[in-house]
Amino acid sequence: MVQLLAAEGIRDAQVLGAMGAVDRHHFVDGALVPQAYEDTALPIGLGQTISKPSVVARMAELLMQGGLRGEGGRLGRVLDIGTGCGYQALVLGQLASEVYSIERLRELHEKARANLRPLRVANVHLILGDGMAGFAKGAPYAGIIAAAGGEAVPEAWIEQLAYGGRIVAPIVHGPSQQALVVVDKSRQGIQQTILETVNFVPLKSGIA
Ligand code: SAH
């Protein structure tokens, strides 16, 4: 899978290392295990999906390029919106000092907890809550990443982002389409860049 990602243009050695270090087959149901290392999104229940590896890697790379790297080239605290099965949170755990990962669906939050428990990762914190409001307790964040797309980047995320930090998220862009957006925050202001078309589940409000 790492070779495939490198062939698809992922260059960041830390990101490739993180993708190689996390076993994706731990995060999908038995019948889907044979497909775990294909570059495809897979169902994880409740109509949600584990993202395509190339998209996880692309977004992690964009986050790493954001600039706020600390010791050993690692990111500081990162907020992950939409834990799902916990796969991306674990990948980010390899790249950041702390990861706060928030999920609005109790059942998936519990599933991610069960997936991560045997791995004993100390720096990935799972939260049940509405990620539209961010997670103020962990702020300010070096990076914020979302696996669900809304109409725009919520104001709370921008507020909770550190100066010099970056948000990478899908947003609705054009009729029934989404695009990846990068938001960079500096003392001079906010810069938003729209990138390629993507296909994520919708960002929804409230806990269910
Ligand atoms: N990163 C996940 C992808 C899961 S799909 C993985 O690696 O498996 C995106 C997830 O975002 C879904 O589980 C969905 O329930 C969740 N989601 C949607 N809106 C949300 C919100 N407002 N707050 C938190 N999670 C949300």
Average pLDDT over residues 66-87: 91
What's the pLDDT score for residue 72?
A: 79
> Is the distance from CB of 140 to CB of 75 less than 8 angstroms?
no
State the closest ligand 1 atom to the C-alpha of 132, by its place in the atom list counted from 1: 22
Q: Is 54 a catalytic residue?
A: no
Average pLDDT over residues 1-28: 96
Mean pLDDT of the chain: 96
Domain range 2-202, CATH architecture: 3-Layer(aba) Sandwich (3.40)
Break the chain into its structural domains and give their ranges. 2-202
pTM of the model: 0.97
Q: Atom 17 in ligand 1: which residue has the minimum CA distance?
A: 82
Ligand 1 pocket residues where CB is under 6 Å? 44, 48-51, 81-82, 84-85, 87-88, 102-105, 108, 130-132, 147-148, 201, 203-205
Give the integer Cα–Cα distance in Å for 71 and 50.
30
Tens-digit pLDDT profile for residues 24-69: 999 999 999 999 999 999 999 999 999 999 999 999 999 999 967 8
